[in-house]
Structure 1
Amino acid sequence: MMGIFGIILTLMGMFVVESYQTEELVHNASYSVVFRLTQTGLTYAVNTILEKVKVQNISAYSFSCVNETTTSVNYYMESLQIIRYTNLNASASFEPDPSSRVNLTVHDLSVELQGKVRCTHRQRRVFTQNCTLKMEIRGSGYFLSHIGRNGGMFKLRMVKKDCHILPSNITINFTECDESVESESLCNNGSSDFIEQFRENRIGEAKLCLLLTFFINFKENKEMEDIDLLPAISKIPFGANLSMTKDPKYTNEYIETYHEGGIFWLSTGENYNVTPIDFTLHNDSSKMVYLWVSKSVTESFFEGIQIHGMLHYLITAQKVGSGLNTTCTKGVCVGRLVPELGKKFPKQYMDLEVYSIKNPTVKFQKNLAILGGKMVMFASIRDPISGVSFVIAKLTGEVQIQIKVNMRNLTLHGEVVSFEPSIEDITSPYVDFNSQTVNFILTGAVVVAIEPRLNDISALGSTGITLPVPKIELYNTTIDLIENAIVLGSDVEYIER
């Protein structure tokens, strides 16, 4: 079951932005991704999420060998185990000083414990009773913690000197007791004294803080260290390196963490260059979570796609319609615009096979991602009956693709709004098959069919890329493409599935 700081870090795995206020230019040489968890997000985590997440069977956190003696009864149990905590109301505040601390205040914390108890009369020791003891402890207070890093991983530590948790009320109930007449009320006889003994010897403030420190520094810190900072990117064979490259930053409104942002090929671990670029971090904290991703990360992503030959596309008449038919007399088509081909290869089709020959460039402008690239295209004539084809031309040129990016819940989508090829050079024995004619064919007959097709097959298209964050839904999500970064901001809701 996910603990409080595991949930908080799940939120920190979310994404970023909207309105711009006072801006701070970030100069960095080591990171390309910035996460921000605001006070609103942290407060939501401790106030709302823990209302839904109940910690049960925490066998590692128990009072072992409880042996307390009151005026008339000795209470002995091998262990008294925490079975759940509930009714947690909490608030959170950030410490703006360089000590980088998070102050968590808890109210009405209710902890339930259970154990098998043997009650023995102090004078008449033959009188014994075995029961199940259920105890509820209520308390409130505050403690301070620090979210930092251990190498590239998250690290969580309790600030021991700043822990104040005071038990305000203890109630006990004995159930499933032995029914012998002489001992039927034995456990209840000294229960009030037992509560005071237990309060004094077991749950003083120092001991509760020690228990809380153990819980945070071991269990919760283990969850932090287990957060996958090398996640696979959904539906494509890449992973992202989100290792922390510097210590988090604390302000009185948010925590920021800084991550490398490198892209790698999953099966081989092959890394692609990321050159962090300065980008602007606004000071808005109205959303729960924010994320900045440097433009360099997207360029690294496309470098990997280029290296592994994934920027390859076959355009056929079946995909774009009659425009690539060598025998046609109307509209924008090969047969009408290049009569020489129609006469020599009647009732056949032209196939265009396109390859990217250079890593695409990426530019963000007016909330559009603009990809620019160099391409080589081979034009072939294909007999639709025999399937035999042969190359008639080699074409080189450029292409520019404009993509509108949007976020729907946890899935990032990209809609191709413009596909603009530009042929610069053609090597072909057919004089009429020139740059002007081919560009006209591409823009007039092919592009109209290619753009929706790109939306269907592209990684960002109709299926999109889903963020690997479990049990979280986004709402009030915004996305901005500024000069050197993609910026997302969102509120989140925890969903127990």
Structure 2
Amino acid sequence: MLPLYLFTYFLVIFGYMETVKAKSPGSKAMITNNGLKYVKEKSPGFKTRITSNGFNYANRVAMDTLVANIRTFSVPDQHGESGSFQYDLTNLRVTGFTEPQSSILILPGAGLKWTANGAGVSMHGNFRYTFRKRWLPTIRGSGTFDISVYGLDFSINMIFGVDVNGRPTIAASGCSCGIYRVKIKFHGRWAWLYNLFSRLVENRVRKILINKICDIVTKQINEDMEKKLASLPVTIKIFGHFLLDYRLLQVPTFQSSYMETFHKGEISWLGDEREAPFQPHTLADIGDTQKMMYLWISDYMFNTLGYAAQMHNYLVLNITAADLPPNQRGILNTTCTSFLCFGNLIPQLQKNFPNSTVELNLFSGRPPTMNITPGELKVNCSGKIVLYARQNDKNRTYVMSTMATMETTVNVSVSNERVHGKINGIMLLLNVTDSAVGPINSRFIQILINSVLKAVLIPKINEFGNKGFPLPVTGKIRFVNTSLRLLKHTMVIETDLKYMG
């Protein structure tokens, strides 16, 4: 992905094109880049597709950048001689540039080629000359000149790679440049004489421009784009304690109308990057190529988040009256002023712990799991809820324990280059496993705890969902005309792109 910054995907995600054809994403492959080795051992949790439409847009942005560079570059002063004639060209500057017809071509199984045809350049500068012949007096003169260049073409290949850390690389290869015609016209008192030597200067200018164009294009790829790729985040800190891993698993593959990249797509605890003990499902396949870019996100990514959180005891929550909105805090009272209240629905609490408040300790029993099916996203979790009574003397007394399972549906959306989620509804099932106050009506305790969770837990989860998962793009790329599809174990984001540079 390129500024991700020929633009777009060079801009955004990228990988590497070797002369060897990449193996299918499900296989194990050893990839060697400049002596570095990177092993792909499992299916991706995240995949991208950049289409021909995306590269066409990247080409427009890249060409705008190239045109701006050419219009501002300065040519070093030049000195030349032929026999008795010596000349100097100084203060050369570009006065006009005709944009070429250009394209970024996908080379199936190979990489990308950037080509441009029919560019024109106009230049202006100063000259001075000296003519010496042993039997003639030395002749000197100076003036100005204008140069017109027609039919300037160039072609360059782009080679994508993956370094040992799964970070993308890009390199230029095989730049060629040609010029159909160069015409120079001198201005000054002896212009007719100067123009006798125009062919010498035209050949010199042709050589300068051919070298300069390849230098500019190669620099744009090898330095500008490579620098921006090197700054792309392949691991991103999220939610304060977790690390989102977008490292590449292999070199990208190139088909006739798109390039695809394959990424780890896993979330771990910050400082503990052990992998989850389960594998991603095969990502659902779609053949669409109308949008500029497609992103596949496996439910594996979110399930690794749940696993890391569970392994580090992150999924623990204590709920007190202070956590509820002021108008709902009465739910936790044992002496009640409203019907929906622990003291009313569980009379033992009102009798044994009058004028007290109930506190809930929630513990996840196993990692929560997400399951994406066509058109629907569900999250399942289970754990233990322990209730205590907090009395006026601040002592806390154990009341009961219940095992809980919860299933929730989640609405997902994409904005600001992040995936956001919001809980749509929950289904809670409780089973009282222990009670210090005698038999408990499971139906009543479920009503009460369900009300508390809706007031406290769900808003906390939605707060995380509102922050969203960052997608691997830089700040200069914006998603436009974006849509989202839910398929089997897969979330697919379809979008066009806009470069804000």
Same fold flag (TM > 0.5): yes
1:47-86 to 2 correspondences below 5 Å? 47-48=60-61, 50-51=63-64, 56=69, 66-69=78-81, 74-75=87-88
Alignment of 1:91 onto 2:103: yes
Deviations 1:89-133 (A, max 9, x none): 52233233x3x1323332454678899x773423377957699x9
Among 353, 375, 378, which residue is 2:383 paired with? 375
Q: Within 2, Cα distance between the matches of 1:211 and 1:130?
A: 29
TM score, norm. by length of structure 1: 0.78
Partner of 2:55: 42
- Structure 1: segments with no counterpart, 5+ residues: 14-24, 176-182
Partner of 1:154: 168
Partner of 1:284: 288
Partner of 2:299: 295
Among 352, 365, 379, which residue is 2:373 paired with? 365
Among 302, 309, 314, which residue is 1:310 paired with? 314
1:110-189 to 2 correspondences below 5 Å? 119-123=128-132, 127=140, 139-151=152-164, 152-160=166-174, 164-168=176-180, 189=194
CA-CA distance at 1:232 after TM superposition: 1.1
Report the 3-state secondary structure (helix = DSSP H, G, I; strand = E; otherwise coil) of the residue aligned with 1:245: coil
Alignment of 1:104 onto 2:145: no
| Residue type of the alignment partner of 1:90 | S
Alignment of 1:262 onto 2:284: no
CA-CA distance at 1:275 after TM superposition: 1.5
Partner of 1:243: 247
CA-CA distance at 1:214 after TM superposition: 4.2
Partner of 1:22: none
TM score, norm. by length of structure 2: 0.77
Q: Percent identity?
A: 18
Q: Within 2, Cα distance between the matches of 1:154 and 1:83?
A: 37
Q: Within 1, Cα distance between the matches of 2:4 and 2:319?
A: 52
Confirm or deny: 8 A CA contact 2:26 2:43 kept in the other structure: no
- Structure 2: segments with no counterpart, 5+ residues: 15-23, 28-41
Report the 3-state secondary structure (helix = DSSP H, G, I; strand = E; otherwise coil) of the residue aligned with 1:296: helix
CA-CA distance at 1:423 after TM superposition: 2.0
Report the 3-state secondary structure (helix = DSSP H, G, I; strand = E; otherwise coil) of the residue aligned with 2:235: coil
Deviations 1:339-366 (A, max 9, x none): 1111222222111121213111221134
Report the 3-state secondary structure (helix = DSSP H, G, I; strand = E; otherwise coil) of the residue aligned with 1:275: coil
CA-CA distance at 1:6 after TM superposition: 5.6
Partner of 1:5: 6
CA-CA distance at 1:36 after TM superposition: 0.7
| Residue type of the alignment partner of 2:383 | M
Alignment of 1:356 onto 2:364: yes
Q: Within 1, Cα distance between the matches of 2:354 and 2:96?
A: 79
Q: Within 1, Cα distance between the matches of 2:148 and 2:360?
A: 74
Query: What number of residue pairs does the alignment pair up?
Result: 463
Alignment of 1:202 onto 2:216: no
Confirm or deny: 8 A CA contact 1:362 1:371 kept in the other structure: yes
Among 201, 217, 222, which residue is 2:226 paired with? 222
Alignment of 1:473 onto 2:478: yes
Among 384, 409, 420, which residue is 1:413 paired with? 420
Q: Within 2, Cα distance between the matches of 1:338 and 1:305?
A: 33
| Residue type of the alignment partner of 1:495 | M
| Residue type of the alignment partner of 2:493 | L
Alignment of 1:453 onto 2:467: no
| Residue type of the alignment partner of 1:284 | D
Alignment CA distance shift 1:55-1:347 (3 Å): farther
